[in-house]
């Protein structure tokens, strides 16, 4: 009975798919099946091999028999081998049982084939070895009959001629046999052997089951279940979460602690990780294949230490085991580390966001914007007035007065605090004043207890408390040991109060911002100094002149003033000089160089030089300045101040023009400068072709000049390259904008044109200075011009003097007639006596009376003090006394001596008749004789 029970138990174990016996039986059955499959495969391969060997023997024998058959050589050497061989070969093929016999020449061209359409075509196979006298056996795919192709085993045999040479080839082929029939014959034997092996496996499995039962000490299902329950109880009792996943990953097991720590749902087991309703970071951690050791992970409000190991290396199924430990007590440490990281990140951002411009106010605004809301809820920046204005803060400056410069944290009206722009006077007890005096940050963690802060403005502070402000920290802004102002940080509402640990961060943030504010202040000071210098060197007002109505504009670049300049210089003979120049660079050096060049142009213009000669002198001056600067910089004869390098003029351009009110001719020359624009009275805009010369300072190159004849009412527009060229706009685009603006403003006044041009062409952010000069031309009426040719005869002086007097009478200038006749008498007499023909006299009635006496001599008269024994030498002295100005200018044909007189009071306004008489009597003083 016991034996029967044992057999039944073994049978149940064998039939139970989860039992070890059933699994062993399944393994053995699989092995038997694999063996049968291997045997069938081996049989198949052997049959195929035998079939191929048999085929090779058959085709070789057929090929050799045909190649050595009588008459083969004669047939190949006949005129038509195909006609002779095709019938014979086909008869032999059918008798031999092969699929194809081919006779071919030594080039592989077929003479015979079962498919006549293939005759004359290339043989498919290898013929090289056979041409050398050897036999070739191979497997090849090719035609075997009409419309049929197959893989055949073929032999290629040479046909030898009388001399032993190969004169042709014979190939016989046979299709590889199908070995399936042979395999089917052997299959019952194999299946029988497999069944026997399976029976043996069943018996072996029963024996294995009995052995396993002995190894488990006779534990039955109940005992095994109890053991599992004990294991499960221990698993769920430990205070460490345990999770087991398969390769899916799918949760196979989770103990109670893991469910609690991760808040897993009740049906979490057998669900994929993505369906466990965990946060993204936890899901990523559990789904990854990485090994994890004590990684701190935040899950909800718990801080977990996570360990993760794969199960496969330890003999288990693919998957992983995860353990979790609750380390929430480390949350405080982790929080402080997170705050430290955020502070470091904010400091880095402050270095990038603060100081993006060299503007004091903008830099203060950037400080306030950086700190809100990641460090404070409201931030205010207060600076000394001197700092806001770009000036150096004085050490004894009144520091309890600050200008609120910037504020961030919402609209200013939302909080009862001082608004931006207010001048605040802080009382001594306030945190702000204590921070300035101590030179470090001051904290008021609870503003309700901050008595000093409340003393500043009781009503305002009371309202601030009602609005939720509860904590304050103020930090002085210091650079180079000097206080520039302060930054005040507030927190409100639910934000935590400031703590002592916040002070170092606030001081570091304020220190960085203070350096940027000081840099901006110093830039503002330098820029204002340069602007002041340049504006003092530029003309403050242009002289009134009858020839031109002039308007001008000067705009410095955003990066600082440069060396652009312009001028309008009255010249003799109702002429006026217009000049525009540009010194490359920015700053004080460029402005100072511009002043030197403008002064030089004034001095050269006083000599009445032609435009090309004036630019030549200016070019020589710039070269000399550069040479001096280089000599100083190289340690030559000059001495540069300690620590200061000399700067040469790296480039200077100039356009110089002289407009003659009488003729309407404008003579222009330029040195590396943009040419002028001319607006005709009808609105036509042209850019005259003024020859371009090299910039000033290059030296050794002449300057070419051009004469432009301008109609009355024309506009001459001079400008620097900053008007038409910018880093974001090429010069062609700028010139088109200038042309369009001038065409649109045709017929307007010089002032209106000047403003319209700027509105149309001014870049949004000028990178270079802009100087613009617009001159509206006039012509002197012919009725205000009188001239006479004078013969070189002293007797002609009286005649010309009388005619001039009559002309003065027509102009209503009898009041200055006597002085004018005296001046003309002296000048004409000198021209006749010391000059050369032709001699000409011209009177111009403009804002003043201009007298001109020209002759063909290049000798210039000179004013001197005559002694009592001199017969002459007093004429020019008299001329100088009665004329407001006088001088000499040289022309291509000689010289012109000119004088200017006011249109009233024959004597200049600042001199009396007695003074003139005394001066004349002094000429006869004999103290020097």
The DSSP 8-state label assigned to residue 449 in this structure reads G
Contacts of 562 (CB under 8 A, 6+ apart): 556, 582, 583, 584, 585, 586, 587, 590, 591, 722, 768, 769
Q: Tens digit of pLDDT for each residue in 704-726?
A: 999 999 998 899 999 998 888 88
CA 360 distance to own-chain centroid: 26
Q: Are strands 378-383 and 482-492 parallel, antiparallel or unpaired?
A: antiparallel
| Average pLDDT over every residue of 116-137 | 85
Question: Do 877 and 870 form a contact (C-beta atoms < 8 A)?
Answer: no
Please say whether the dihedral angle defined by the alpha carbons of residues 83, 86, 88 and 91, taken in this order, is positive or negative. negative
> Which residues pair with residue 571 across a beta bridge?
575
Residue 917 pLDDT class (50, 70, 90 cuts) = very low
| Average pLDDT over every residue of 462-485 | 88
Give the pLDDT score at 707.
92
Residue 329 pLDDT class (50, 70, 90 cuts) = low
Please give the biggest Cα pair distance in the chain: 179
CA dist 397 to 9, 249, 485, Å? 107, 73, 12
Residue 475 has pLDDT above 90, yes or no: yes
pTM for this prediction: 0.52
Contacts of 595 (CB under 8 A, 6+ apart): 533, 534, 537
Residue 472 pLDDT class (50, 70, 90 cuts) = very high
Give the pLDDT score at 688.
92
Whole-angstrom distance, CA of residue 689 vs CA of residue 277: 81
Q: Tens digit of pLDDT for each residue in 779-814?
A: 888 888 888 888 888 888 888 888 888 888 888 888
Residue 180 pLDDT class (50, 70, 90 cuts) = very low
Question: Do 159 and 168 form a contact (C-beta atoms < 8 A)?
Answer: yes
| Average pLDDT over every residue of 590-609 | 84
What are the phi and psi torsion angles at 178 (to 5°)? -85, 120
| Average pLDDT over every residue of 665-686 | 92
Residue-by-residue DSSP string for 17-59: TTSHHHHHHHHHHHHHHHHHHHHHHHHHHHHHHHHHHHHHHHH
Residue 322 has pLDDT above 80, yes or no: yes
Residue 872 has pLDDT above 50, yes or no: no
Give the pLDDT score at 667.
94
Whole-angstrom distance, CA of residue 174 vs CA of residue 61: 12
Which of 110-114, 679-683, 904-908 is predicted with the least confidence, judged by mean pLDDT?
904-908
Give the closest residue to 718 by CA, choosing from 777, 661, 660.
777
* Burial track 400-436 (b if 16+ CB lie within 10 A, e otherwise): eebbbbbbbbeebeebbbbebeeebebeeebbbbbbb
Question: Do 817 and 825 form a contact (C-beta atoms < 8 A)?
Answer: no
CA dist 33 to 23, 183, 188, Å? 15, 17, 14
CA 361 distance to own-chain centroid: 26
Residue 656 pLDDT class (50, 70, 90 cuts) = very high
Contacts of 582 (CB under 8 A, 6+ apart): 562, 563, 564, 565, 652, 653, 654, 673, 720, 721, 722, 769, 771
Angle between helices 331-353 and 360-371 (to 10 degrees): 160
| Average pLDDT over every residue of 112-137 | 86
Residue-level length of the chain: 929
Whole-angstrom distance, CA of residue 568 vs CA of residue 591: 19
What percent of the chain is predicted at pLDDT more than 70?
80
Q: Tens digit of pLDDT for each residue in 48-102?
A: 777 777 777 888 888 888 888 888 888 888 888 888 888 888 888 888 878 888 8
| Average pLDDT over every residue of 475-501 | 89
> Which residues pair with residue 160 across a beta bridge?
166
Give the pLDDT score at 865.
55
Residue 373 has pLDDT above 50, yes or no: yes
Tell me the pLDDT of the chain averaged across its residues: 79
Whole-angstrom distance, CA of residue 854 vs CA of residue 852: 6
Residue 869 pLDDT class (50, 70, 90 cuts) = very low
What percent of the chain is predicted at pLDDT more than 90?
9
Contacts of 142 (CB under 8 A, 6+ apart): 124, 125, 149, 150, 152, 173
Give the pLDDT score at 554.
85
Give the pLDDT score at 874.
56
Residue 380 pLDDT class (50, 70, 90 cuts) = very high
Query: Who wins on pLDDT, 216 or 262?
Result: 262
Q: Tens digit of pLDDT for each residue in 330-356?
A: 555 555 666 677 778 888 788 888 888
| Average pLDDT over every residue of 741-751 | 84
| Average pLDDT over every residue of 130-146 | 82
Residue 866 pLDDT class (50, 70, 90 cuts) = very low
Give the pLDDT score at 668.
95
Whole-angstrom distance, CA of residue 101 vs CA of residue 250: 68
Whole-angstrom distance, CA of residue 277 vs CA of residue 111: 82
Highest mean pLDDT among 583-587, 620-624, 714-718: 714-718
According to DSSP H, which parts of 133-253 are helical? 180-215, 221-237
Highest mean pLDDT among 275-289, 528-542, 651-665: 651-665
Whole-angstrom distance, CA of residue 607 vs CA of residue 621: 16
Question: Do 144 and 98 form a contact (C-beta atoms < 8 A)?
Answer: no
| Average pLDDT over every residue of 425-433 | 88
Whole-angstrom distance, CA of residue 776 vs CA of residue 759: 19
Contacts of 750 (CB under 8 A, 6+ apart): 549, 550, 551, 715, 774, 775, 776
Query: Who wins on pLDDT, 222 or 236?
Result: 236
Give the pLDDT score at 578.
93
């Amino acid at each position: 009975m016991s034996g029967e029970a044992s057999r039944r138990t073994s049978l149940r174990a064998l039939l139970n798919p989860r039992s070890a016996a059933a699994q062993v039986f399944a393994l053995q059955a699989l092995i038997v099946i694999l063996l049968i499959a291997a045997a069938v495969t081996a049989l198949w391969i052997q049959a195929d091999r035998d079939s191929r060997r048999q085929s090779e023997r058959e085709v070789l024998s057929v090929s050799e028999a045909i190649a050595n058959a009588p008459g083969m050589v004669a047939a190949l050497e006949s005129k038509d081998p195909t006609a002779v061989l095709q019938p014979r070969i086909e008869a032999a093929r059918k008798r031999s049982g092969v699929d194809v016999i081919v006779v071919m020449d030594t080039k592989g061209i077929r003479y015979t084939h079962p498919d006549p359409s293939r005759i004359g075509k290339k043989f498919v196979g290898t013929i090289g070895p056979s041409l050398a006298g050897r036999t070739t056996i191979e497997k090849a795919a090719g035609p075997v009959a009409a419309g049929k192709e197959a893989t055949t085993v073929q032999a290629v045999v040479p046909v030898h001629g009388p001399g032993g040479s190969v004169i042709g080839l014979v190939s016989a082929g046979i299709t590889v046999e199908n070995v399936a029939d042979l395999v089917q014959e052997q299959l019952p034997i194999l299946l029988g052997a497999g069944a026997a092996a399976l029976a043996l496996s069943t018996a072996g499995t029963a024996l294995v089951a009995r052995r396993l039962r002995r190894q488990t000490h006779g534990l039955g299902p109940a005992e095994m279940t109890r053991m599992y329950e004990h294991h499960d109880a221990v698993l769920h009792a430990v205070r460490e979460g345990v999770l087991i996943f398969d390769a899916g990953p799918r949760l196979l097991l989770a103990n109670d602690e893991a469910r609690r720590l991760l808040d897993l749902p009740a049906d979490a087991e057998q669900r994929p990780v993505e369906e466990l309703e965990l946060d993204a970071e936890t899901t990523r951690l559990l789904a990854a294949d990485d090994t994890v050791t004590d990684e701190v992970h935040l899950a909800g409000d718990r801080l977990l230490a996570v360990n993760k190991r794969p199960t496969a290396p330890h003999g288990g199924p693919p998957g992983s085991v995860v353990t979790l430990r609750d380390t929430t007590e480390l949350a405080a440490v982790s929080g402080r580390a997170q705050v430290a990281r955020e502070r470091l990140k904010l400091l880095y951002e402050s270095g990038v966001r603060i100081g993006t411009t060299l503007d004091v106010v903008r830099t203060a605004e950037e400080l306030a914007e950086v700190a809100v809301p990641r460090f404070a809820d409201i931030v205010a920046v207060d600076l000394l007035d001197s700092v806001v204005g770009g000036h150096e803060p004085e050490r004894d400056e009144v520091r309890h007065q600050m200008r609120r410069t910037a504020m961030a944290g919402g609209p200013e009206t939302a909080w009862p605090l001082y608004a931006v722009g207010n001048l605040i006077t802080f009382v001594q007890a306030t945190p702000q004043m204590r921070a300035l005096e101590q030179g470090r940050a001051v904290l008021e963690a609870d503003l309700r207890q901050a008595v000093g802060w409340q003393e500043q403005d009781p009503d305002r502070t009371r309202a601030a408390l009602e609005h939720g402000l509860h904590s304050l920290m103020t930090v002085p802004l210091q650079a180079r040991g000097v206080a520039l102002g302060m930054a005040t940080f507030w927190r409100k509402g639910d934000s935590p109060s400031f703590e002592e640990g916040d002070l170092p961060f606030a001081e570091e943030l304020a220190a960085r911002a203070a350096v940027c504010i000081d840099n901006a202040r110093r830039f503002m000071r330098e820029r204002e100094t340069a602007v002041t210098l340049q504006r003092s060197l530029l003309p403050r007002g242009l002289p009134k002149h009858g020839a031109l109505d002039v308007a001008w504009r000067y705009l410095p670049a955003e990066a600082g003033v440069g060396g652009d300049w312009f001028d309008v210089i009255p010249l003799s003979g109702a002429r006026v000089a217009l000049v525009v120049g540009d010194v490359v660079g920015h700053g004080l050096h460029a402005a100072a160089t511009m002043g030197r060049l403008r002064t030089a142009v004034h001095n050269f213009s006083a000599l009445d030089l032609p435009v090309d000669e004036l630019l030549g002198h200016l070019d020589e001056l710039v070269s000399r300045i550069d040479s001096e600067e280089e000599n100083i910089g190289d340690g030559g004869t000059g001495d540069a101040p300690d620590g200061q390098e000399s700067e040469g003029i790296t480039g200077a351009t100039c356009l110089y023009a002289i407009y003659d009110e009488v003729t309407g001719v404008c003579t222009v020359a330029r040195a590396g400068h943009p040419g002028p624009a001319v607006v005709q009275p009808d609105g036509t805009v042209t850019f005259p072709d003024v020859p371009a010369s090299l910039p000033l300072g290059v030296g050794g190159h002449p300057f070419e000049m051009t004469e432009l004849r301008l109609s009355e009412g024309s506009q001459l527009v001079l400008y620097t390259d900053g008007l038409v060229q910018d880093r974001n706009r090429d010069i062609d685009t700028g010139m088109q904008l200038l042309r369009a603006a001038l065409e649109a403003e045709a017929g307007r006044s010089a002032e209106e044109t000047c403003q319209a041009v700027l509105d149309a062409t001014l870049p949004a952010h000028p990178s270079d200075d802009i100087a613009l000069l617009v001159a509206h031309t006039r012509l002197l009426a012919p009725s205000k011009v009188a001239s006479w040719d004078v013969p070189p005869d002293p007797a002609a002086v009286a005649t010309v003097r009388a005619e001039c007097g009559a002309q003065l009478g027509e102009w209503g200038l009898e009041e200055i007639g006597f002085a004018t006749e005296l001046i003309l008498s002296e000048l004409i007499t000198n021209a006749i006596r010391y000059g050369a023909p032709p001699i000409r006299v011209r009177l111009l009635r403009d804002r003043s009376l201009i007298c001109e006496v020209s002759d063909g001599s290049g000798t210039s008269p000179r004013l001197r003090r005559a002694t009592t024994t001199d017969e002459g030498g007093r004429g020019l002295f008299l001329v100088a006394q009665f004329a407001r100005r006088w001088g000499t200018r040289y022309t291509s044909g000689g010289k012109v001596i000119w004088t200017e007189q006011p249109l009233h009071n024959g004597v200049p306004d600042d001199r009396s008749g007695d003074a003139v008489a005394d001066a004349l009597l002094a000429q006869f003083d004999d103290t020097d004789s």
